[in-house]
Chain A
Amino acid sequence: MKKITYYAFTFCFLLFGILSCNSDEDSKNLITVDQEDVNQSLNTKFDGKIFSIPSPILTMLLVKKVSKDFHPEYLAPTSNVDNYQSEFKRALLVGVYGADLGYTSMYRDKNKIMEYLVTVEKLTNSLGLESSFDKNFLERYQNNIDNSDSMMYIVADAFKNADLFLKSGDRKSVSALMLAGGWTESMHFASELAIKHKNKELTERIGDQNQTLETMISLLEVNNKQNSNDELIVLFKDLKESFDKITINYEFNEPETDAANKITTLTHKVNFDIDEDTLLEIHSKIKFLRQFIIE
């Protein structure tokens, strides 16, 4: 009898161990429903609350459109990569260097591409993400070094696989920090060049980050293991105060849908009101935030 109890306990332990790999880290976030409601049963969001942060590649593409010149001086230095020991720093920097890898790929600077490729590989390996940034990824990347479009697909897929791996393995805090690093780096490029070129498109791209910033703060708060994100959250909240000064006027118009081609074109109108002082303030806070990440 004692043996049966022992086996039963061992199996239950294993079972719950495996189940916990697929469930949200914060079981307090589970949604429960009134038992009397016969139309609903116990509901669980498999991935917890869902957050979406726009890809840094999208902003880097706009940067490339605005500035044909390659600006290596805006890239994060790779010389200190071996000094980053904590998971917190490494995860943030994978995001930063990933965005830099996207930027260098767009300008096809082979030396810089290799420098950032090696750096991303080193950091992702230290975070246990070898399966996403493996030999196959490096080979595919190197084989397409003359095709910036293909490189975009390859790097975006590798980050998507890493995201899936981290979320499935209950390491969403690492995934959140990678997104925060990538967003910060893309905004660093956007704000530097928006000021340098006095460019309206880049200024508007910066101006419309308020919702993303709000999502970012929630994402970091939900995944704040042992309060390790506290300092970062303070910086993001401070940045948001500056973003709150931007006015956006939105006007709805009925979208046009082409059902045969499965495409809908949105026809709304939107206007941004962002003055120069606010832009400079945002630029200065992004600079400070980025410095905190890469120092």
Chain B
Amino acid sequence: MKTNFLFVLLFLLTNAISFGQNCEEIVRNCEKLFLNEKGKQVFISDGQVYTAFLDRQEAEFSLTFYGGTTYRIAVSAGDKDDYVLFTLRDELGNVLFSNKNHKNARYWDFKIPQTIRVKIETELDTERKVTGCAVMLIGFKQ
């Protein structure tokens, strides 16, 4: 009885630790999407890591893209499949891009001739994954 009880607690403890590690692992994998085929970094990170625990719900946030810049949005929720959907809208709600139309592409580049305020909506493709840590990184080059 005593052994079973401790076993269950240990199991829960191990799972809790591995979730944190898993999310950091996803960040490290996502960082690779800023490299070119030769392994050279081609996009400068905006210095922030966007993580969300998604469970059939969207995470949405606003940001400004500056004119004269090319941005790369990279997403990941694990390296076995392309789990994350993201949609870019302008402030009027017009869809500027959705990776849903491009086989859930893990990254996409945006050439921005003039400054624009956008909203990014992120969710898991529930046909591939229903719950988990989703990571988004934003990089830029000029």
Contacts and interface: CB of A to CB of B under 8 A. Distances in A.
Interface string B76-112: 0000000000000011101011000010010111111
Interface in A167-206: 167-168, 179, 182, 204-205
Contacts of B53: 44-47
A18 B16 contact: yes
B56 A43 contact: yes
B91 A50 contact: no
Contact of B91 (A4, A53, A250, A264): A250
B6 A7 contact: yes
Contacts of B90: 250, 252, 268
A264 B49 CA distance: 23
B23 to A, nearest CB: 7
Interface in B33-59: 41, 44-57, 59
A115 B131 CA distance: 46
A179 B91 CA distance: 23
B107 to A, nearest CB: 7
A259 B97 CA distance: 11
A167 B47 CA distance: 13
B57 A40 contact: yes
Contacts of B59: 45, 50
**Which residue of B6, B51, B63, B64 has the most chain A CB atoms within 10 A of its CB atom?**
B64
A234 interface: no
A49 B63 CA distance: 13
A55 B46 contact: yes
Contacts of B56: 39-41, 43
B97 A264 contact: yes
Contact of A266 (B5, B23, B45, B96): B96
Contacts of A55: 44-47, 140
A52 B56 CA distance: 22
A52 B111 contact: no
Contact of B113 (A153, A160, A266): A266
B2 interface: yes
B117 interface: yes
Interface in A31-72: 31, 33, 39-47, 49-55, 57-59, 61-62
A43 B55 contact: yes
Interface string B4-35: 01100110110011011001100100000000
Contact of B133 (A11, A46, A49): A46
Given A18-B13, A18-B17, A4 B5 contact: yes
The 9 closest A-B pairs by CB, nearest first: A46-B53, A159-B47, A52-B63, A50-B61, A11-B9, A263-B109, A265-B111, A55-B46, A164-B49
Given A12-B9, A14-B13, A46-B51, 10 more contacts: A18-B16, A21-B20, A43-B56, A52-B46, A62-B68, A168-B20, A211-B63, A211-B117, A250-B90, A266-B116
30 contacts: A4-B2, A7-B6, A11-B13, A15-B13, A19-B16, A22-B19, A43-B56, A43-B57, A44-B53, A46-B52, A51-B61, A52-B50, A52-B61, A52-B63, A54-B63, A55-B44, A55-B46, A58-B69, A62-B68, A152-B44, A156-B47, A160-B46, A163-B49, A167-B49, A208-B66, A208-B117, A255-B97, A265-B111, A266-B111, A268-B116
